[in-house]
Chains A and B, each alone.
Chain A
Amino acid sequence: MNKPLLEIRGLTVAFDTERGSAPIRPVQDVSLSIFPGQTVALVGESGSGKSVTALSVLRLVPSPPGRTLSGEIMLEGTDICRMSEKQLQHMRGKDIAMIFQEPMTSLNPVYTVGDQILEAITLHQKVSFREARKIAAEAMAAVGIADPEERLKTYPHQLSGGMRQRVMIAMALSCKPKLLIADEPTTALDVTIQAQILELLRRLQRETGMAILLITHDLGVVAENADVVAVMYAGRIVEFAGVEELFDHPLHPYTRGLFAAVPRLGQASARLEAIPGTVPNPANFPAGCRFHPRCALTQQIAAESADAVQVNTDHILAMVARPCVQQEPQLRQVSPGHWVSCHFADHYAAAAASPPSLEHRREVVVESLAAREVDA
């Protein structure tokens, strides 16, 4: 068994709001492991806390409103949460790199693309200027940009969205990081470009053996790219499993709802099946299980048993099962390689709470891993 590259344990982040109001917690007790060469997908709707989790790994959460309340983020034995400023700067870009959702605004408009890539290279590698330029051009070529030498002199606004994202990837990969965090890298792009970028990421992963933390809300993207999936809802991870296992046997009602909402070709139905209700306001999370106001399973169980409680959510009354309101469920491994946090998942009561950690990959990338060990 290899050791995980990155381990997030019990991360809780708080945001201070306006004077007088209690701070909100968009991320609560999140635990996650990423192994070398693995692609972990972090899935959730807007407001689920996935971006904040990703930003926390690099400690990029803006500090006046946000602060880490508790938890550890272990990168190969060192806790990122306790790193000094210098160590942090040393690690960022070199060990862990990040690309963002909006490629246009994520690049500085007043510097050329080449300047910005060179900045990343010269920061972490002791190379001469000419060598740095060569590395930059190679990085650009690696991400599929034609005529890289010329392109280095262009400005961000002269490139299309897809090209800009490629530049971002080139910049992120120029120092050969071990982990790439991709925060919804294709959401702002056309569908065809989306496919190209994701294909590019997969290829680069095969070549370099880096791990990817892929943040997305698109299940199609997850299906094609992920090895392991973590589903987030309202600041917590509600389900964690290998991608095939998750798609075959989704256990959490939220995950099931997500799958049910995807329209299938050949399915004849009058309405799309949406999960009723809306994502709760972080200032006002429901008591107990945060999903219970929208959960069909708990209402079904409440109808069947006597142990029910009436709740009033957004002025709508419903009967839900008592444990769902009183006790917040934990993430427990209910079957090998499958964690879920739902009181009524099969084998939940017997399982033990544990941080999810699954070394599962769809393709074996032995050669690149071996190559990495030589480099390291």
Chain B
Amino acid sequence: MIEASLQLPATVESRGYARDITGRVMRRWGARIGAAWIVCLVLLAVFAPFLATSHPLLMKSAGKWSSPVLQSLGPSDVILQAAFWMALILWPMRLSVKTKVIAWLAVLIVTAIPSINSLHPPQLFVYQHYRDAVRSGKIEQVVFAPVPFSPQDHLRDQEDMRLQPPEHVHWMGTTDNSADLLSNMIHATRIAISIGFISTGIAAVIGVVLGGLMGYYGGWIDLLGMRVAEIFDSIPTLLLLLCFVAIYPPNLYIMMAIIGATSWVGYAYFVRGEFLSLRDRDFVHAARAAGIPLPSIIFRHMLLNGLTPVIVTASFGVASAILMESTISFLGIGLTDESSWGALLEEALGGGGTFYWWIALYPGLAIFLTVFAYNLIGESLRDALDPKLGRMM
């Protein structure tokens, strides 16, 4: 008699699950293109102070070599460098995810504290000094950055470089206040990336926490929470953003918090729905009857199930956060000290009907490609995580 051999299903670790999902997502060409673009942007953002700056990378003056660019770095530049290199070093290492995250955060904090205290790059700088010095010979040898213009460099040593179309010195032309467009675009990458991730992170945290509370406790917490969610859901987002922005002077971090505070509702609905349906499932009752503590039930069983729509929503959420920030900046209400892509786009239509096509094309293309990249990743995530869609495509 042949007996069928029994095979026990292999237990799935959560890390294995994450890796499996990543594998399935990355197999799709859409996700690959999107991820490639995001990686490019991250590289641009991290290395912006070295890629696009009027400060020479290396300079020999009066016989001595110096690196002005290093002296011009601010705390955020240094922290970003530390974060990037630490992540690169930690990634291939064979440690648990928790250890790696803790190590990374530790290095960040260790870098952040002294740099915030000690690094004070000058706020105003006369950029044309370098070019004058090179012309007059005071600087003997110099190595400039690939894009030798800072975003704030208004080219005061050259006559009327406002709104010049692209040519070989300024690869993307110049803006309304004679700044190099490419340099502004590279530095604006930071805003795009950080707004995207951080505001979506804030929105997701708020949404998941509130949704979880509503779904788990039910009762009047749920009623109250749903009314609040409905209020946030019914105001046209842009209007709400405008109102919040009115409260505080526009600042990158405030902006992130504000965008986060206006987009949490979707996450809350998903998590609440998941918790409500799971609450009465048999396995939750069984777990409680077995004496498993409540937070453990919530985190290990309920949250993990409910996270998949949150992840998909988050990817689309990053795209929409970037769109919102661009729109607000375009309307002139957003960040004022640093230019973001949206703010740059606003200058494209000049008075009297002139159209500066390079100012319209490049910033707009950048926003579009970034949003498209996140949408592609979101789509691939949804296809990979949602079993119902399966082979439908």
Q: A residues near B, CB below 8 A?
A: 276-278, 293-294, 296, 313-316, 318
- Name the distance in Å between B298's Cβ and chain A's nearest Cβ: 35
> Does chain A have a CB within 8 A of B3?
yes
Which 3 residue pairs spanning A and B have beta carbons closest together?
A316-B2, A276-B2, A276-B1
A313 and B3 CA atoms in complex are apart in Å by: 11
Q: Does B294 contact A (CB under 8 A)?
A: no
Encode contact with A along B1-23: 1 for CB under 8 Å, 0 otherwise.
Answer: 11111000000000000000000
Q: Which residues of chain B from 1 to 50 have a CB within 8 Å of any chain A CB?
A: 1-5
Could you show 14 A-B contacts with beta carbons less than 8 Å apart?
A276-B1, A276-B2, A276-B3, A276-B4, A277-B2, A277-B4, A278-B4, A296-B1, A313-B2, A314-B4, A315-B5, A316-B4, A316-B5, A318-B2
- When distances are taken between beta carbons in the complex, the residues of chain A under 8 Å from B2 are 276-277, 293-294, 313, 316, 318
B1: A residues at CB distance < 8 A = 276, 296
Shortest Cβ gap from B29 to chain A (Å): 14
Per DSSP, chain B at the interface is loop
Determine how close the nearest CB of chain A comes to the CB of B129; give it in whole angstroms: 63
Residue from B1, B3, B5 whose CB has the most chain A CB atoms within 10 Å? B1
Measured CB to CB, the nearest residue on chain A to B391 is A18
A294→B4 CA distance, assembly (Å): 10
The chain B residue sitting closest to A296, CB to CB, is: B1
Chain A residues contacting B3 (CB-CB under 8 Å) are 276, 316
In the bound complex, what is the Cα–Cα distance between A318 and B3 (angstroms)?
11
In the bound complex, how far is the Cα of B5 from the Cα of A127, in angstroms?
61
How long is the Cα–Cα vector from A277 to B2 in the complex, in angstroms?
7
- With most chain A CB atoms within 10 A of its CB, the pick from B2, B3, B4, B5 is B2
Contact partners of B5 in chain A: CB under 8 A: 314-316
Bound-state Cα–Cα, A315 to B3, Å: 10
Chain A residues in 8 Å Cβ range of B4: 276-278, 314, 316
- Residues of B within 8 Å of A315, CB to CB, are 5
Closest Cβ–Cβ distance, residue A62 to chain B (whole Å):
12
- The CA of A319 and the CA of B31, in the complex, are separated in Å by 51
- Other A-B pairs beyond A313-B2, A314-B4, A318-B2, 16, CB < 8 Å: A276-B1, A276-B2, A276-B3, A276-B4, A277-B2, A277-B4, A278-B4, A293-B2, A294-B2, A296-B1, A314-B5, A315-B5, A316-B2, A316-B3, A316-B4, A316-B5
User: In the docked arrangement, what's the CA distance between A315 and B5, Å?
Assistant: 8
CB-CB under 8 A from A294, the residues of chain B are 2
Tell me, in angstroms, the Cα distance from A277 to B1 when the chains sit together.
9
Q: Please, how many angstroms separate the alpha-carbon atoms of A314 and B4 in the complex?
A: 8
Closest Cβ of chain B: how far from A250's Cβ, in Å?
20
A277 to B5, CA, bound (A): 9
* Whole-angstrom distance between the Cβ of A267 and the nearest chain B Cβ: 19
A348 to chain B, nearest CB (A): 24
Shortest distance from the beta carbon of A52 to any chain B beta carbon, whole Å:
18
A318 CA / B2 CA spacing, docked (Å):
8
Q: Give the distance to chain A from B86, nearest Cβ to Cβ, in Å.
A: 41
> How distant is the Cα of A293 from the Cα of B5 in the complex, in angstroms?
14
Q: How many angstroms from the CA of A276 to the CA of B2 in the assembled complex?
A: 6
User: In the bound complex, what is the Cα–Cα distance between A290 and B2 (angstroms)?
Assistant: 15
**Alpha-carbon distance between A293 and B1 when the two chains are bound, in angstroms:** 10
What is the distance, in angstroms, from B390's C-beta to the closest C-beta of chain A? 12
